[in-house]
Structure 1
């Protein structure tokens, strides 16, 4: 008789998470008074009723995002964008060439965005654009980070040869990322990034040049295939657009593992978040 009553209760119009096929022997339901109802035991506390269990609301843990190079031009905008979406954000801007310090920084992190990069001699550019980011990718992989987004750079043809260390480092990082993150690795390849850039006490309005060029060149993709000068006609992109796409790629499991060029950045930045 009791079994028949319990069977009718479980198959009534209860919320889906109370139906028999939604739980197994190890599943636990938290009751309002702090006790737990387990299907793995035949004994159930009589004071813990199904009505109490129905009132429990599960709040998923907040995404924890680590931004590498968060004090820089792009990184600071990514932090602002992530905070606007209610994410738990931390920033790391210290030397990433020492991998020993990265493990603790990755603890509990669900996703990472790296904006680390710089210019100088070829050896320095390879270290800062390549080695430092590769160290971060390996540390993130070892700590079980789910998603890793890397802000790389578009190819500019002849410019690549003038900045060999810069581009060699970027491409080495990209390869490492795609090797280590088979499902959650995303690479963004913007060209010239414009916006208001702060250099010391100065604020450089890069959009004075960048915004008009973006408006003109974003609709002239075919020109980028011209010999020699084609890559130089890749449209600039606003730093806010880069930040929006980077954050979305870091937290949206539906965002595919891929390389996103400047046109993809422009397209994704105009989409409303789900």
Structure 2
């Protein structure tokens, strides 16, 4: 097997809202970018999409991941979703655990996982979602002790591409971010506190994810919302 290129990045779920921002950020940094998802190339017509190598695969079928991961040095997973508790655990937990295990087997050096911040009682309401996320996090820290980074944003704002339309989710998110990033002490309150976690832009999450996956000196472990704001502001 040929050794992976040091600038070869695979984005899982690269055709989604956050994933597309990750692909664009990586391309802007001069990286070679590929993406794997169940649907493959997105329908969006944009110059950046022509520069990505698109793979079809299913994270619930580990064998379908091996080829896409065989020659990459880093992986970023943007895979997640909602549904029943069992569906949420499968999408957020089992699927990502499979990806982490295959990446480790294929010799991938670094793996960044876009998880989710705690929201207090919301965690109970979305039990399968958060249990799945935390199970995937535990697997990542086990398999990628020195090269695994967990990114935990809350609400993510930005522009979502829906077919040929661009829906600006930042109209609410941006002012909230400015307001709530100064309310950090209040988020220690048991019920209200977690809901005061500031939102972050999809571009900021993407910037931190790409850096975490490709910078060998980026510290492993968990990056919370305030870490996202701090790292994304650095050059």
TM value normalised by structure 1? 0.76
Which among 182, 191, 202 is matched to residue 219 of structure 1? 182
1:98 to 31, 51, 61: 61
CA contact (8 A) 2:8 2:33 kept: yes
Residue 198 of structure 1 and its aligned partner are, at CA, apart by 2.2
Q: What is the DSSP-based 3-state SS (H/G/I as helix, E as strand, rest coil) of the residue aligned with 2:10?
A: strand
Unaligned runs of 5+ in 2: 39-57
Deviation, 1:78, is: 0.3
Q: Which residue of 2 aligns with 1:170?
A: 133
- Per-residue CA deviations over 1:229-261 (Å, capped at 9, x if unaligned) read 100000000000000000000110000111000
Residues 1:135 and 2:98 aligned together: yes
* Residue 219 of structure 1, CA deviation: 1.0
> Residues 64-98 of structure 1: CA distance to partner in whole angstroms, max 9, x if unpaired?
10000000000000000000111010000122101
Task: Find the counterpart in structure 1 of residue 153 from structure 2.
Answer: 190
For 1:77 and 1:235, locate their aligned partners in 2 and report how far apart those are by CA, in whole Å: 19
| Structure 1 residue 118 corresponds to structure 2 residue 81 | yes
Q: Distance in 2 between matches of 1:233 and 1:111?
A: 33
Relative CO higher for 1 or 2, CA cutoff 8 Å, sep ≥ 6?
2
Relative distance call for 1:61 and 1:227 in structure 2 (3 A) is closer
Equivalence for 1:16: none
Q: How many residues align?
A: 213
3-state SS in 1 of match to 2:15 = coil
Out of 206, 220, 233, the residue aligned to residue 257 of structure 1 is 220
**Contact 1:70 1:93 (8 Å CA) reproduced:** yes
Alpha-carbon distance in 2 for matches of 1:251, 1:192: 25
Please identify the structure whose Cα radius of gyration is greater: 1
Which residue number corresponds to residue 49 of structure 2? none
Q: Contact 1:189 / 1:262 at 8 angstroms: preserved in 2?
A: yes
How far has the Cα of 1:228 moved from its partner? Answer: 0.5
Match of 1:70 in 2: 14
Q: What SS does structure 1 have at the residue aligned with 2:207?
A: helix
The correspondence of residues 73-92 of structure 1 with structure 2, limited to 5 A, is 73-92=17-36
Q: Is the 8 A contact 2:117 2:154 kept in 1?
A: yes
Query: What is the CA–CA distance in structure 1 between the aligned matches of 2:161 and 2:83, rounded to whole Å?
Result: 20
Structure-2-length-normalised TM-score: 0.88
Query: Which runs of 5 or more structure 1 residues have no equivalent in the other structure?
Result: 1-59
What CA deviation, in whole Å up to 9, does each residue of 1:159-200 have, x standing for no partner? 000000100100000000000001100000000000011233
Moved >3 Å (runs of 4+): none
